[in-house]
Amino acid sequence: MNSKVIVITGASSGIGASLAKQLGANNNMLVLAARREHELNQVAKQSGSHALPVICDVTKRQDIENLRDAALAEFGRIDVWVNNAGRGIGIKVLDLSEEDFNQIIDINLRSAFYGMQAIVPYFQKQIKGHLINISSFLSRVPLLTFRSIYSAAKAALNSLTANLRMDLSANYPDIHISLVMPGPVATDFAKKAIGGTPALLPGASPLKAQSADEVAAVIVDVINTPRPEVFTQPILAEIAGKYYQDVAAFEQNMRSRR
């Protein structure tokens, strides 16, 4: 993979941190964004000699635009933008407060929307670029109902991503728009979820958690070989397919396992 200038939000831990380290090892130039300054600086130090940390609240449009401008000021161009920042929730639909709802929408959907509007016009001017939105398998299948508004926000992100890709496809064939959908990942995501994460019953999920490094490796591959949508575990596509083929049968099977 040729050296690229890559912006990553949510880079202070989890998938974002793993992605930064893998890309930095390949001599890419990185702009790493997060709110936690100490953690972000540590990741930047571990991500090669060309990693710029930028303190950024992704729920604020101006911060996202400042992030773009900082990347351009430091490296003169941007090749790839990864909307990775996100946060989970452990509250079912009828128990959600308005504050819960708004916070999850802001972090998981609005932040990516701001990122798309900040970077894609720049990509249009240079007639090339690659936007990657990190979604979730839960955006396709209601496997964990307590993720509720998180899953809904990611489903909305899927739709925005697909519509943007279609808008650009005719006139900008060298602007790639990708959606990456991980399943369970062994990070602190569950611990940091609003409302915590309920304990799962044995056998409640057929999915084994991937490591953040495994998911990051898939994203690196998407950067190297752009494609529209990727499930990070092969079984995820199979499960999603079964769900959409017969929603009633799938949901009945899930209820019988509880």
| Per-residue model confidence as pLDDT tens for the chain (258 residues) | 579 999 999 999 999 999 999 999 999 999 999 999 999 999 999 999 999 999 999 999 999 999 999 999 999 999 999 999 999 999 999 999 999 999 999 999 999 999 999 999 999 999 999 999 999 999 999 989 999 999 999 999 999 999 999 999 999 999 999 999 999 888 777 778 888 777 654 445 557 889 999 999 999 999 999 999 999 998 888 999 999 999 999 888 877 766
> Which residue, among 95, 87, 64, 71, has the nearest Cα to 13 in the 3D structure?
87
> For position 202, what pLDDT does the model report?
45
Domains recognised in the chain with CATH numbers = 5-256 (3.40.50.720)
Q: Is 114 annotated as catalytic?
A: no
Q: Is 16 helix (H, G, I), strand (E, B) or coil?
A: helix
Letter for the amino acid at 80?
V
How many Cβ atoms are within 10 Å of 183's Cβ, its own excluded?
Answer: 22
> For position 1, what pLDDT does the model report?
52
Q: Which of 150, 172, 243, 244 is catalytic?
A: 150
> For position 201, what pLDDT does the model report?
47
Strands, E assignment, 22-171: 29-34, 51-55, 80-83, 129-134
Q: Which residues pair with 180 in a beta bridge?
A: 134, 230
How many Cβ atoms are within 10 Å of 59's Cβ, its own excluded?
Answer: 18
Contacts of 226 (CB under 8 A, 6+ apart): 130, 176, 178
